Structure 1
Amino acid sequence: MTVALMWEAKAPEGRDRELLSWCRGHPLAPAPLRRETYSAPGGRVLVITWWHAALDADLPELPDPPAELTARPVHRWRFEQVQPND
């Protein structure tokens, strides 16, 4: 099955590029099937990774950034791909 991990953080005013750079500088081992990074207004950065694994599998995730790069706690979600007739 495919599992998607979503990681989202919000940078303090004016620190969004630093937070984005920090995210891009943290590889995961092992590497996911796919990894995408997004930015949004308000200093938000979202990283989505895809894995072939069970929903409860122990998968590598991005750690919390340094406190000075976050305006609030990091949010994390796990999703399991749903097949057409599930």
Structure 2
Amino acid sequence: MTVALMWEARAADGRGGELLAWAREQRLPRPPVRRETFRAPQDRVLVITWWDADFDADLPELPEPDGDLATRAVHRWRFEAVDGE
């Protein structure tokens, strides 16, 4: 089964570049099958990691950003693949 973990944070005003750099520098204890990083308006950063694992497997996730880099707690979602290409 393929499981995708989504991590999304919103940077403090004017700190989108810092948050993006911080997210890109984060290393997980083991590598996912795939990892992509995105940015969006309002200084949002999204990281999606794909894993070959059961839906409820204990998988490493990115931490909360340091200090006042983000305006709120990180949003996290877990999805399982239903179609493969």
* TM-score, shorter chain, exceeding 0.5: yes
Q: Which runs of 5+ in 1 are unaligned?
A: none
Write out aligned runs for 1:1-86 (5 A).
1-83=1-83
Q: Which runs of 5+ in 2 are unaligned?
A: none
How many residue pairs were aligned?
84
Alpha-carbon separation, structure 1, partners of 2:69 and 2:40: 15
Runs of 4 or more, structure 1, over 4 Å off, are none
Q: TM-score, normalised by structure 1?
A: 0.93
Alpha-carbon separation, structure 2, partners of 1:41 and 1:50: 24
Alpha carbon RMSD of aligned pairs, Å? Answer: 1.1
Identity percentage of aligned residues: 63
